[in-house]
Amino acid sequence: MIEEVTDQNFAREVEQASMPVLVEFWQPGCGHCLALLRQLEQLHGELGAAVKIVKMNVQENFQIPAELEISSLPALALFEKGTFSRFIGGIGKKDEIRRQLPLA
């Protein structure tokens, strides 16, 4: 199960993480968001502790999505060493997402 993060715990869960973190920005009722979430759950099972994968509901959290200027959903953001690195493309394709991750 992919953990939900909020504006309140984002610093602790993402910015202070010791590993790269992939954040899916989503909202309920978004079919593409749910499809991506299924792919990320599979990827989470395959990667183990190499990359932390979390999700953020943009209907309940406004600060972080606004700071990153999230304008369309779903959006995948990669954080490395606690800092936003880049958005990840290939949404919906776990193999394409994996290719874009900083794996050792």
Q: Which residues are designated catalytic?
A: 30, 33
Task: Give the CA count within 13 Å in the CB-facing half-sphere of 83.
Answer: 2
CA dihedral of residues 37, 96, 68, 81 (deg, nearest 10): 100
DSSP-derived secondary structure letter, 85: E
25 by Cβ neighbours in 10 Å (0-12 / 13-18 / 19+) ranks as buried
